[in-house]
């Protein structure tokens, strides 16, 4: 095997765990997504000691299934008062999250916040400053970065295997109409905001250049009943690169998801019937390499994010999913939504709040 293929065969794309740091973790929010956090933490051996939800029965049910000795409570302040808890995992919706993040930081805890981090970039910056002042880590749960295909593609792009990446083309064609009857159904920009934030974030891992501007549009599917537009498309402009994204979120059958990276030295192509089932190929001057990817986005991505936070704390190094960096992904997302609202190209950073 050539040196290049040897290196591709041993990329460390799987989630990591700390060597000797096993802090007590408290979780606030025991709704739908908490299941995947807890499943991943249990199999990674992370220690969840408290579960909080306004709906006590939701916390009790998660306790019974995953961490039978954990304390349950309706009041997140109870977790903040517990000095044995060093890390708080906050999985409520964004509109409920800021006071909880603030309380955790004030109480001296490291924080992992679910995505999308905040509704207002200035508020996000304030939380970042608060964490810095208190010497704490504030990280955002962009677990897509540890979906096996995205994790591998990230290391390929950042490792220079493709030369300089100048094209990123992402396509998601699936059925998201399960949101009917949930809180997600009331999000006007469900697709470009709540869903696509993982794709805006991963795009920034693939292309290391500032975005010049973004253009986006949304539309409805024939016969659509749900309020949010289920079609969304995005074009992102860079000085020496381009990116496109297409989201068809109401496909009843024949789901397909694709990632294509073009670089000055080669290409990466990943595709499959969804993000849990991907075949990935890397083509360089040495030929084409297909890794046997292990794991799945759900739940491994959730081991990836908490593992990265704990490893960063243990090693005293910056966390790659730090909130300051995440604000750039959100700025891109907000700009795309503003573009879809106005029909104009928008510069990221110029739109500070999630457009109505």
Per CB under 6 A, contacts with ligand NAD among 184-223 are 194
Burial 317-338 (b: 16+ CB within 10 A, else e): eebbbbbbbbbbbbbbbbbbbb
The three-state secondary structure class of 124 is helix
Per-position DSSP letters for 241-252, written without gaps between them? -EEEEEEETB-S
For ligand NAD, the closer CB: 4 or 143: 143
| Residue 183 contacts ligand NAD per CB under 6 A | yes
The DSSP H or E segment spanning 217 is strand 211-219
* CB of 202 or CB of 241, closer to ligand NAD: 202
Among 7, 11, 16, 54, binds ligand NAD (CB under 6 A): 54
Closer CB to ligand NAD, 31 or 167, in the complex: 31
Q: How far apart are CA 250 and CA 254, in angstroms?
A: 11
Nearer to ligand NAD, 93 or 328 (CB): 93
122 contacts ligand NAD (rule: CB under 6 A): no
Does the protein bind ligand NAD through residue 57 (CB under 6 A)? no
Please state, in angstroms and rounded to a whole number, the distance separating the CA atoms of residues 355 and 134.
31
The single residue among 8, 30, 40, 236 that binds ligand NAD, judged by CB under 6 A, is 30
Restricted to residues 34-53, the positions that interact with ligand NAD (CB under 6 A) are: 34, 52-53
Per the document, the length of the chain is 356
Asked if residues 333 and 200 have their Cβ atoms less than 8 Å apart, the reply is yes
CA dihedral 56, 58, 61, 67 (to 10 degrees): -80
Is position 94 an interface residue for ligand NAD (rule: CB under 6 A)? yes
**Among the residue ranges 18-26, 28-36, 121-129, 345-353, the one whose residues contact ligand NAD (CB under 6 A):** 28-36
Footprint on this chain of ligand NAD (rule: CB under 6 A): 28-34, 52-55, 58, 76, 91-94, 96, 114-115, 141, 143, 183, 194
């Amino acid at each position: 095997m050539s040196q290049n293929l040897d290196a591709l065969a041993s990329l460390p794309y799987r989630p990591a765990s700390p060597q000797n740091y096993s802090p007590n973790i408290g979780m606030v929010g025991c709704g739908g997504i908490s299941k995947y956090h807890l499943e991943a933490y249990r199999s990674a051996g992370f220690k969840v000691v408290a579960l909080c939800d306004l709906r006590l029965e939701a916390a009790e049910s998660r306790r019974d299934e995953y961490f039978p000795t954990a304390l349950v409570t309706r009041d997140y302040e109870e977790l903040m008062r517990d000095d044995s808890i060093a890390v708080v995992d906050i999985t409520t919706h964004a509109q409920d999250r800021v006071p909880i993040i603030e309380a955790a930081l004030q109480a001296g805890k490291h924080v992992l916040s679910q995505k999308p981090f905040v509704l207002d970039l200035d508020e996000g910056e304030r939380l970042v400053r608060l964490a810095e002042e208190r010497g704490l880590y504030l990280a955002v749960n962009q677990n897509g970065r540890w979906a096996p295909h995205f994790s591998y593609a990230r290391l390929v792009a950042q490792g220079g295997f493709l030369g300089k990446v100048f094209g990123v083309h992402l396509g998601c064609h699936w059925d998201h109409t399960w949101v009917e009857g949930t809180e997600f159904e009331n999000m006007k920009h469900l697709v470009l905001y709540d869903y696509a934030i993982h794709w805006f974030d991963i795009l920034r891992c693939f292309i290391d250049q500032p975005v010049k501007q973004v253009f986006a549009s949304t539309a409805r599917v024939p016969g659509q009943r749900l309020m949010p537009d289920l079609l969304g498309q995005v074009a992102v402009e860079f000085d020496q690169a381009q990116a496109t994204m297409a989201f068809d979120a109401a496909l009843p059958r024949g789901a397909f998801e694709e990632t294509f990276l073009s670089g000055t030295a080669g290409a990466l192509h990943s595709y499959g019937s969804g993000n849990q089932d991907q075949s990935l190929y890397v083509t360089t001057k040495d030929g084409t390499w297909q890794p046997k990817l292990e794991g799945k986005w759900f739940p491994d991505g959730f081991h990836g994010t908490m593992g990265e936070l704990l490893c960063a704390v243990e090693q005293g190094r910056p966390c790659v999913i730090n909130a300051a960096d995440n604000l750039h992904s959100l700025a891109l997302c907000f700009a795309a939504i503003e573009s879809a609202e106005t029909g104009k190209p928008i510069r990221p950073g110029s739109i500070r709040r999630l457009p109505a």
